[in-house]
Amino acid sequence: MSLESRTQTIGQTLLAATHPGRSFLAQMREPWDEKLLAWTMEHPGLRTQMFRLIDTLPFLSGSGEISRHIQEYLHQPGVELPGMLKNLLNFTGRESLTAQVAAQTLTTAVSTLARKYIVGENFSQVRQTLERLGRQGMTFTLDILGEAVLSESEAQGYFQKYIDLMTQLAPVDWGCVPQVSVKLSAFYSQFDPLAEKTTRTQVTQAITQLLQRAGELGVAVHFDMEQYKYKNITLAILKDVLLSDEFRSRTDVGLTVQAYLQESEADVREILAWVKLRGVPVTLRLVKGAYWDQEVILAQQKHWPLPVYRRKSSTDANYEKLTRLLLENHPFIYPAIGSHNVRSQAHALAIAEELSISPNAWESQVLYGMAAGLAKALVAQGQPVRMYCPYGELLPGMSYLIRRLLENTANTSFLRQRLEKENELELLTPPQWAEPTTPLPQGETFMGTADTNFAQMGTADEFLQAIVRVKLQLGHSYFLPHCSRERTLDSVNPSDPKESIGRVGLADISSVQKAMDCAQEAQKIWGSTPIAIRVNLLQQIADTLQMQRSEWVAWMVLEVGKPIREADAEVSEAIDFCRYYSEMAEGLHPGYTYDVLGETNRYVYQPKGIGVVIAPWNYPLAISVGMITAGLVTGNCVLYKPAEQSAVIGCKISELISNLISDLGLPQGVFQGLPGWGEEIGPELVRHPAVHFITFTGSRQVGCQIYAQAAQMSPGQRHLKRVVAEMGGKNAIIVDASADLDQAVQGVVQSAFGYAGQKCSACARVIVLAAIYEPFLERLRTATQSLTIGCATDPATTIGPVIDATAQERLQKNITLAKQRLTVALESAAPTSGYFVGPVIFTDVPPDDPLAQEELFGPVLAVLRVADFDQALQVANGTDYALTGGLYSRTPSHIHRAMQEYICGNLYINRGITGALVGRQPFGGFRCSGVGSKAGGPDYLLQFVEPKVVTENIQRQGFAPVAEEL
Amino acid sequence: MSLESRTQTIGQTLLAATHPGRSFLAQMREPWDEKLLAWTMEHPGLRTQMFRLIDTLPFLSGSGEISRHIQEYLHQPGVELPGMLKNLLNFTGRESLTAQVAAQTLTTAVSTLARKYIVGENFSQVRQTLERLGRQGMTFTLDILGEAVLSESEAQGYFQKYIDLMTQLAPVDWGCVPQVSVKLSAFYSQFDPLAEKTTRTQVTQAITQLLQRAGELGVAVHFDMEQYKYKNITLAILKDVLLSDEFRSRTDVGLTVQAYLQESEADVREILAWVKLRGVPVTLRLVKGAYWDQEVILAQQKHWPLPVYRRKSSTDANYEKLTRLLLENHPFIYPAIGSHNVRSQAHALAIAEELSISPNAWESQVLYGMAAGLAKALVAQGQPVRMYCPYGELLPGMSYLIRRLLENTANTSFLRQRLEKENELELLTPPQWAEPTTPLPQGETFMGTADTNFAQMGTADEFLQAIVRVKLQLGHSYFLPHCSRERTLDSVNPSDPKESIGRVGLADISSVQKAMDCAQEAQKIWGSTPIAIRVNLLQQIADTLQMQRSEWVAWMVLEVGKPIREADAEVSEAIDFCRYYSEMAEGLHPGYTYDVLGETNRYVYQPKGIGVVIAPWNYPLAISVGMITAGLVTGNCVLYKPAEQSAVIGCKISELISNLISDLGLPQGVFQGLPGWGEEIGPELVRHPAVHFITFTGSRQVGCQIYAQAAQMSPGQRHLKRVVAEMGGKNAIIVDASADLDQAVQGVVQSAFGYAGQKCSACARVIVLAAIYEPFLERLRTATQSLTIGCATDPATTIGPVIDATAQERLQKNITLAKQRLTVALESAAPTSGYFVGPVIFTDVPPDDPLAQEELFGPVLAVLRVADFDQALQVANGTDYALTGGLYSRTPSHIHRAMQEYICGNLYINRGITGALVGRQPFGGFRCSGVGSKAGGPDYLLQFVEPKVVTENIQRQGFAPVAEEL
């Protein structure tokens, strides 16, 4: 009998044993929780909103809030409500009796649902369930549900829970070895493949202790697998630990492989090689994988290759292939086949039969609550079955619950199909490999460059090596044309100020004049250079940056103290600017046509003339390249003054662009770098009568000065100048009562302290609703405390130095002063060897305190307490700035109001407020945050062109070609 | 036998008698001129370019210029050249032998062509031809070809030529009464149906003299029909003159009706009624019409109903209908059936036969050179035939030649079809009525409002009546909210300063503050008012202006001395602004969407805030409404300061808009009019910290002040202000050596002196190539001299007053000073009763003379002589301004260069440089002419909005709706 026939036969047996067999009457009487699932399957719009509502539910206090959210979520355009649900929701007034009924009904239904998938909220409940499973002939593995681990205290808490659990498990006689399942990322709050060394050290330490204690207690430990980005480092750590002398002989441990990963087969083969080397078997659990949506979203958003299979059937096919591979290697490993798909389990049984593997040599696993019938049927077949049992409270378990609900209601879900298929036997059809050969649908008008994906082990090495190479080039001198060879400035490494980055010859007033003369000559040529050549220049800049990515990262790490991941993203941004502005310029080029009979009308864009770019140090590459290329691609000659603090990178950019221009046979006057002291040459650059526009990014004070100065006519000037200025911000994030704190804390930490808060977009104020103020603050405090402060060259660093001694002193002074009037929630220590400032959090800051009004540009965060959402918006809007803003909320009406009322240029909802992407999130603000249209946006280039209309009467002697058949 | 059968029989006879019968050999040997026509029929692209080239040819001097133009015209993308022509044009170097051959070949071919259609260049040639025609049994009518009549001296010249011709014709015995054909529009250079009274007087005087002299000489006079716009007034004048006692008994006169006009049947019936009243017959010539392209183009460009039939076959069908009508009325009129279409003539003969009309009671007419065979065949049938004989030089006859060539080579042309049809009898198919019921294809993205079409008699009356009505409202007082009732200004009629237009209560600093307070309150509401309501407001403004068109015209005529036609166009422009900005705002509203999986990104536009509009007096309605509505529709509250000189119109606009806002239930602070002294309230409006943007149109000096002042931060201000300023110009028109002087003179006169030169776009400099300097200047001088200076209320006025005494004095002073250093070509007298300044032309003005550099804003024109086109461009570009520019040239390379190198915002080629239309010709300049994007253009509204990006992470617990079948 062939394998497939056996699979079918076994499958039919299992199906028969597990037939739901629900009568019509039973369906009529089905409880709310089942109705709810049924409805979501029938109405895709309702499905999304219902799961979002369920996700929010545990965070809402009182039936008023619950009924309000029910209405806000479910009364939406596109959400079709089944009649019964419509009746239930047909209430007005949040406190009415019917509203209370609705709230109660839904809450009960969700609790009922949760109890189906979660074995218990406390150990006594858990013990009851596990003993029942034991009576049914099943073993178990216990997984403690938890919130995201954002801090070391939370990591410690997670660890301790497992120790406690194991301690509780050990004394009981389960009739089998009790097992727990753990997630590696929860053992270290800064778990990060880029910070490989630290992550390995921290995690190894935790699991060593865990395994030791488990060994003492006689509890088996299984290691779960999480998101793809953690996979390689997880396997690397586990292989090392389990190969160590201490644990090499342990068989009561296991690893997990996810069949939806394209790399899974290779991983299994490597694990097999490793386990053979180890000589002692471990359990290898084969699952399909539970993060498919997330993995797809992340890959699409980041423009990374998709790590998972696109089609469920491909995953299923791969699962069968790996099942065989595992079972064939059963002496070396103990296979655990985890699936609630009857076909998958039947197929495993058939293979085991074919290979004559004893049932004791492998086991089946199913998730608690997902396929109780199947588990029983497997037991009945004499197959060992382990139930995966999540344990914990509903609130932290929400993401688990949502994953299970999604899984059960997905179109491709086995459980759903079982309910819907006319002919049950179709469920046993062998899965087909079905990966599309066409690329993923993009739907994006502009495809940004992908940042480096550090998920692959060793990726960081390329950057570390580049840092070593660049270190050999430090201390050189840079003399750009027109600049002095005598007067120079020294740029130093802010992580280590003793280290000179380079010496830069300075431009002075006479340099400016010379450069202007060159630019004026060059403008005649550049202004009429075909768009294709201008675009080509930008493409070459982009290609060069991409080719030299790691070198540019190294220069930024060293000269401005930017951590590697953020420097890497900055290279991408610079490349994106080149490519986006190229596309935009090509789009502008044809202009508009407005022809009528006998007359052509062309609306075209021509260059403005010479532009001055005054760049900041905090994005020394991306903002410089963006401002420069926007001016160049529209046909304007550009004079570029880099910031003093990043003068070496400024010179490198200048050399790069000047060389490419030279290669194109164009005059050097097209682009000229002019490093110099801002106070000295800035005013002259702004004042010069030949200048047509100034593109500036920097402080509010300087921006306003430039704006006013540029508007004055200089002698000999015969046009009005245009100023595009990006200035400061005092950006707020509102944390609503319904916020997902896992997200909110993470987003605030990242937004406030990324690059030591030295971003225009950085979060300087968190406005927190009183209802969740305390828990939020506590998690924020500990999460911030867990950040790694250090040299930017260290991949583990999350917070590097501030830019220079002046900034350090200014920040320290402001912190000292603020401490005199405000409460400090956290003040972190910092190394003293460089310009370091440890993150500081002030709490209960009054909205009018200078700390909540004035930009500090450093790792200092003000936490403000507000009574309600109205007040939150009012406080958020209550500064001179309007750059970025954020909101964490799961209340649809609040999200909607924020979209309308939040005064800022870039509003981010339920995510961090930094890291705007070119094209996707055009960046810029108004009020005192800036003037001009958004960088990386559809209107940006319009600021550097003059529209011209050419109208031609094409009649001659009353004749123009008119179609005779008009 | 039915009429149709007779038509067919006669047609076949005529066809047989006129069969071209050309052998293959004859075709091979056909001369260049015939080849040329054949090629244009085969290659539509070549046809257009070839006719343009032929049009240019007589103006070119020397074979070098000719060969250059041959290449420029015919070596174009899309122009397919037949092999033989390609060989002929295969030369390089304009003076090479082959180039000379090409030039010579083409010139000869065109001369040969011209000689086919024109009876002679002098009387002795004409006499020879006419005598030959006489021998062939034909009579004739002579038409003197001429350039456009742009001045009274040219009109006088035209008149005199006819007197001379008649004097030469009279003594000769032609065997018949000699006849001349004349065009009415050539008797008066300011011929204009709007100026009905003057036109009637002038033209009546000329034709009275002509008819008297013709009577004395025994020469018959036939009146031709020209463009549709002249038709009604032409018929009205002729009916009056020919009904007068002096001419009522004359039978040797005739009128013309064009069958392509939709009104032609009605016209014929009216003529029949009139001629019956007259009691003495006249000739009625029925033609199809020769201006079809022009009529279609004009109607399409002006958005007027098409006066002609769209289909040739409809015209043919109408022609047959009118033929019957004429012949049926033969005792009252003498029908003349003019056509070279065999079917049309056969049909006329058949009707005459059916009605038993004697051949002496009507005649056939054909054009000389178009159908000689048909004429002979008709004579052979015993039918009287008159040949229409154009007479004159090639150069002024060019438009006639082009018309004939077009006619012969058109797809629908009888002559062409005869050459192409396989079965000749198809040519006799009865014409079918074939007017499409679908509207004309538009192809325009924005449909502007049509100006009033004054072609219909009496249209001006509506405006004259409105002036009477408005005159009754003069002298009233206007007190807008916040304005003083004590301090007022008086606005007067510049045509008659004794006449007060009204008294206006003034705003002062405290009014500004009050208005700002209201605006700040209103901004909260208006800024979030749905786009549909904002758009609705604009639509209501537009509808009201349209409904009150004649009143608004009257107010402008009276308050700012704008002539009726230009005031009418201004109302259209105001309406267009409302409608265009509505469309643009609706287009902006959705913003951009940039969604990726798991994240939505919306780029939307929000209002900036309070805007100040500072408006000029020269377009008191259109520019005000444009600037106001642009601010309003984008959600900004607007404070509007009208110019002092047009304060009453400013108040009327304010009342109109405020009332509509009130009707919508919106607060008055949304829009507030603040009439006041610019020096007093202007700086405060600009300085006020609540203001977000200033939209200004006015002088360079004030614009630059506002620009500088607005860039200074005021205390309490928390944003940077945006200034959009339209300022002055010193606009040039280049008249190239290849220019069509008929066009160029007309365009320059209109551009320089329209509204007395008080337009930003007005032409202040004409840059003329030496080669045609003298003839151009002379025609310019006389054309300008012929303009009618007077009160704006008079429909005959082409130049009204300047705006006020200050302007008058300033202009007079500048003219006096300039006369001390420059040569005056023309200084016209002007009435002394109002603020009149007669047009002045200075000649040979050096490019650096203040008169060629500084804006005067009045009817003063500098003529500059340049050696070549390079110099022309250099001089044109050599001022501080860059607003409008013009070029008259028929040299493709010069047109191309101007498109690239002419520094101006709006470049017009081969047409006047004023009268930009909203949407079609977005308007605005750069250099010191302005800052900001073009009014009425696609980017204008972007200046009044702030882009905002809203990014929402729509993942919840790692879940977002991802298509499972990705």
Mean pLDDT for the stretch of residues B852-881:
98
Mutate to test the interface with B, among A957, A962, A965, A966 (most CBs of B within 10 A): A957
Shortest distance, CA B100 to any CA of chain A (angstroms): 26
- Active site annotation includes B726: yes
| Chain A residues with beta carbon closer than 8 angstroms to that of B601 | 920-921
Q: Which two tokens stand for residue B611?
A: 């805007």
Give yes or no for residue B731 having a pLDDT over 90.
yes
Alpha-carbon span B667 to B526, nearest angstrom? 8
User: Would you call B60 helix, strand, or coil by DSSP?
Assistant: coil
Closest by Cβ to B294, choosing from A398, A958, A964: A958
Could you please report the per-residue DSSP string of A861-874? EEEEEESSHHHHHH
Q: How confident is residue A760, by pLDDT bands cut at 50, 70 and 90?
A: very high
Q: Are B964 and A410 an interchain contact pair (Cβ–Cβ within 8 Å)? A: yes
| Chain B residues with beta carbon closer than 8 angstroms to that of A918 | none
**CA-wise closest residue to B807 among B756, B882, B843, B863:** B756
Residues B803 and B877 in one domain: yes
- Tell me, yes or no, whether B427 lies in a domain: no
| Chain B residues with beta carbon closer than 8 angstroms to that of A292 | 962
Residues A638 and A773 in one domain: no
Alpha-carbon span B199 to B786, nearest angstrom? 13
Q: Are A601 and B920 an interchain contact pair (Cβ–Cβ within 8 Å)? A: yes
**CA-wise closest residue to B607 among B687, B686, B537, B670:** B670
| Chain A residues with beta carbon closer than 8 angstroms to that of B887 | none
More confident residue, B191 or B45: B191
- Tell me, yes or no, whether B743 lies in a domain: yes
Give yes or no for residue B434 having a pLDDT over 90.
no
Q: Quote the number of domains for chain A.
A: 4
Return mean pLDDT, chain A: 94
- In degrees rounded to 5, what are phi and psi of residue A173? -95, 105
Q: Are B922 and A946 an interchain contact pair (Cβ–Cβ within 8 Å)? A: no
Q: Residue A341 has what pLDDT?
A: 93
Instruction: Reduce the secondary structure of A919-959 to three states and give it as a string.
Output: CCCCECCEECCEECCCECCCCHHHHHEEEEEEEEECCECCE
Contacts of B423 (CB under 8 A, 6+ apart): none
> Which one of B578, B760, B763, B928 is the catalytic residue?
B760
Contacts of A498 (CB under 8 A, 6+ apart): A492
Q: Which two tokens stand for residue A626?
A: 């963006």
Q: Which two tokens stand for residue B730?
A: 């010193």
Mean pLDDT for the stretch of residues B226-253:
98
Lowest mean pLDDT among A128-142, A551-565, B28-42, B491-505: B28-42
Mean pLDDT for the stretch of residues A346-358:
96
Q: Residue A243 has what pLDDT?
A: 97
Lowest mean pLDDT among A359-373, A700-714, A739-753, B920-934: A359-373
Answer left, alpha or beta for residue B576, where phi above 0 means left and psi between -120 and 50 means alpha.
alpha
pLDDT digits (tens, 9 = 90+) for A67-96: 999 999 998 888 888 888 888 888 877 778
- Tell me, yes or no, whether A438 lies in a domain: no
Shortest distance, CA A945 to any CA of chain B (angstroms): 9
Residues pairing with B476 in the sheet: B502
| Chain A residues with beta carbon closer than 8 angstroms to that of B920 | 594, 596, 601
Q: Are B300 and A719 an interchain contact pair (Cβ–Cβ within 8 Å)? A: no
Give yes or no for residue B200 having a pLDDT over 60.
yes
Alpha-carbon span A346 to A348, nearest angstrom? 5
State the residue range of the domain holding B96. Answer: 31-112
Shortest distance, CA A944 to any CA of chain B (angstroms): 11
Q: Are B725 and A720 an interchain contact pair (Cβ–Cβ within 8 Å)? A: yes
Give yes or no for residue B114 having a pLDDT over 90.
no
Give yes or no for residue A110 having a pLDDT over 90.
no
Q: Are B291 and A958 an interchain contact pair (Cβ–Cβ within 8 Å)? A: yes
Residues A10 and A129 in one domain: yes
Pairing between β-strand B496-505 and β-strand B488-493 as defined by DSSP bridges: antiparallel
Closest by Cβ to B601, choosing from A603, A904, A921: A921
CATH number, domain of B177, equals 3.20.20.220
8 Å CB contact between A834 and A494: yes
- In degrees rounded to 5, what are phi and psi of residue A74? -95, -25
The C-alpha torsion from A179 through A183 and A187 to A193, rounded to 10°, is 140
Alpha-carbon span A840 to A745, nearest angstrom? 15
8 Å CB contact between B893 and B72: yes
Return mean pLDDT, chain B: 94
Size of interface A-B (CB pairs under 8 A): 289
Closest by Cβ to B949, choosing from A723, A934, A964: A934
Q: Among residues of chain B, what percentage have pLDDT more than 90?
A: 83
Give yes or no for residue A23 having a pLDDT over 70.
no
pLDDT digits (tens, 9 = 90+) for B921-964: 999 999 999 999 999 999 999 999 999 999 999 998 777 766 65
Contacts of B394 (CB under 8 A, 6+ apart): B58, B111, B114, B118, B121, B401
Residues B317 and B345 in one domain: yes
Alpha-carbon span B275 to B270, nearest angstrom? 9
- Tell me, yes or no, whether B758 lies in a domain: yes
Give yes or no for residue B891 having a pLDDT over 60.
yes
8 Å CB contact between B834 and B496: yes
Handedness of CA A513, A519, A521, A527 (dihedral sign): negative
Local structure of residue B202 (DSSP, 8 states): H
**CA-wise closest residue to B11 among B370, B341, B371, B432:** B341
Q: Which two tokens stand for residue A596?
A: 């009528």
Please tell me which residue of chain A has the smallest CA distance to B53: A956
User: Would you call B685 helix, strand, or coil by DSSP?
Assistant: helix
Domain boundary at B112, B143, B174, which?
Answer: B112
Handedness of CA A612, A616, A622, A623 (dihedral sign): negative
Could you please report the per-residue DSSP string of A409-445? HSTT-HHHHHHH-SSGGGGGSPPPP---SSPPP---S
Helix (H), strand (E) at residue A367: strand A363-367
| Chain B residues with beta carbon closer than 8 angstroms to that of A927 | 718-719
| Chain A residues with beta carbon closer than 8 angstroms to that of B895 | 952
Q: Residue A712 has what pLDDT?
A: 97
Pairing between β-strand A496-505 and β-strand A488-493 as defined by DSSP bridges: antiparallel
Domain boundary at A112, A130, A162, which?
Answer: A112
Mutate to test the interface with B, among A949, A954, A965 (most CBs of B within 10 A): A949
Closest by Cβ to A594, choosing from B310, B708, B920: B920
Closest by Cβ to B920, choosing from A596, A910, A942: A596
Q: Are B952 and A311 an interchain contact pair (Cβ–Cβ within 8 Å)? A: no
Give yes or no for residue B396 having a pLDDT over 80.
no
Alpha-carbon span B377 to B16, nearest angstrom? 9
Mean pLDDT for the stretch of residues A636-640:
98
Q: Residue B75 has what pLDDT?
A: 87
Lowest mean pLDDT among A113-122, A665-674, B357-366, B934-943: A113-122
Residues A409 and A266 in one domain: yes
Please tell me which residue of chain B has the smallest CA distance to A938: B592
- Tell me, yes or no, whether B351 lies in a domain: yes
Closest by Cβ to A938, choosing from B603, B916, B957: B603
Residue B440, Cβ neighbours under 10 Å: how many?
A: 14
Q: Residue B98 has what pLDDT?
A: 86
> Which one of B226, B407, B726, B855 is the catalytic residue?
B726
Shortest distance, CA B52 to any CA of chain A (angstroms): 7
Q: How confident is residue B28, by pLDDT bands cut at 50, 70 and 90?
A: low
Q: How confident is residue B525, by pLDDT bands cut at 50, 70 and 90?
A: very high
Q: Residue A417 has what pLDDT?
A: 79
Alpha-carbon span B787 to A524, nearest angstrom? 42
**CA-wise closest residue to A120 among A133, A129, A110, A109:** A129
Residue reference for tokens 């008058």: B808
Residues B721 and B744 in one domain: no
Task: Report residue B420 CA to chain centroid gap.
Answer: 36
Mean pLDDT for the stretch of residues B494-515:
98
Contacts of A191 (CB under 8 A, 6+ apart): A184, A185, A199, A202, A203, A230, A233
Q: Are A293 and B411 an interchain contact pair (Cβ–Cβ within 8 Å)? A: no
Residues B623 and B670 in one domain: yes
- Tell me, yes or no, whether B376 lies in a domain: yes
8 Å CB contact between B40 and B53: no
Instruction: Reduce the secondary structure of A218-246 to three states and give it as a string.
Output: CCEEEECCCCHHHHHHHHHHHHHHHHCCC
pTM comes to: 0.96
CATH number, domain of A570, equals 3.40.605.10
Q: Which two tokens stand for residue B636?
A: 């900004």
Task: Report residue B236 CA to chain centroid gap.
Answer: 24
Q: Helix crossing, A44-56 with A32-42: angle to 10°? A: 140
Give yes or no for residue A29 having a pLDDT over 70.
no
pLDDT digits (tens, 9 = 90+) for A550-602: 999 999 999 999 999 999 999 999 999 999 999 999 999 999 999 999 999 99
Residues B141 and B67 in one domain: no
Residues A657 and A713 in one domain: yes
Shortest distance, CA B927 to any CA of chain A (angstroms): 4
Mean pLDDT for the stretch of residues A267-272:
98
Shortest distance, CA B899 to any CA of chain A (angstroms): 7
Q: Residue B963 has what pLDDT?
A: 63
Q: Are B950 and A904 an interchain contact pair (Cβ–Cβ within 8 Å)? A: no
**CA-wise closest residue to B214 among B176, B166, B255, B251:** B166
| Chain A residues with beta carbon closer than 8 angstroms to that of B301 | 596-599
Q: Residue B20 has what pLDDT?
A: 63
- Tell me, yes or no, whether B937 lies in a domain: no
pLDDT digits (tens, 9 = 90+) for B360-377: 999 999 999 888 899 999
pLDDT digits (tens, 9 = 90+) for A236-256: 999 999 999 999 999 999 999
Residues B411 and B541 in one domain: no
Q: Among residues of chain A, what percentage have pLDDT more than 90?
A: 83
User: Would you call A641 helix, strand, or coil by DSSP?
Assistant: strand
Closest by Cβ to A953, choosing from B441, B910, B955: B910
Residues A619 and A712 in one domain: yes
**CA-wise closest residue to A70 among A29, A14, A109:** A109
pLDDT digits (tens, 9 = 90+) for A169-204: 999 999 999 999 999 999 999 999 999 999 999 999
- Tell me, yes or no, whether A454 lies in a domain: no
Q: How confident is residue B616, by pLDDT bands cut at 50, 70 and 90?
A: very high
Q: Are B949 and A740 an interchain contact pair (Cβ–Cβ within 8 Å)? A: no
Q: How confident is residue B965, by pLDDT bands cut at 50, 70 and 90?
A: low
The C-alpha torsion from A759 through A760 and A762 to A766, rounded to 10°, is 150
One-letter amino acid at B84 equals: M
Local structure of residue B100 (DSSP, 8 states): H
Helix (H), strand (E) at residue A251: none
Mean pLDDT for the stretch of residues A615-643:
98
8 Å CB contact between A736 and A709: no
Q: Are A961 and B711 an interchain contact pair (Cβ–Cβ within 8 Å)? A: no
pLDDT digits (tens, 9 = 90+) for B642-688: 999 999 999 999 999 999 999 999 999 999 999 999 999 999 999 99
Q: Please list the active-site residues of A.
A: 726, 760
Shortest distance, CA A692 to any CA of chain B (angstroms): 9
| Chain B residues with beta carbon closer than 8 angstroms to that of A705 | none
Shortest distance, CA A300 to any CA of chain B (angstroms): 7
Give yes or no for residue A629 having a pLDDT over 90.
yes
Closest by Cβ to B301, choosing from A599, A927, A952: A599
Contacts of A465 (CB under 8 A, 6+ apart): A550
8 Å CB contact between A858 and A759: no
| Chain B residues with beta carbon closer than 8 angstroms to that of A293 | 598, 955, 958-960, 962
Rg (CA), chain A: 32
Strands (E), B910-960: 926-927, 930-931, 945-953
**CA-wise closest residue to B938 among A920, A594, A630, A937:** A594
| Residue B420, burial from CB neighbour count under 10 angstroms (0-12, 13-18, 19+) | exposed
User: Considering all CA atoms of chain A, what is the largest pairwise distance in Å, rounded to the nearest integer?
Assistant: 108
Closest by Cβ to A398, choosing from B594, B707, B957: B957
- In degrees rounded to 5, what are phi and psi of residue B631? -70, -45
Please tell me which residue of chain B has the smallest CA distance to A442: B596
Shortest distance, CA B138 to any CA of chain A (angstroms): 30
Residues A66 and A180 in one domain: no
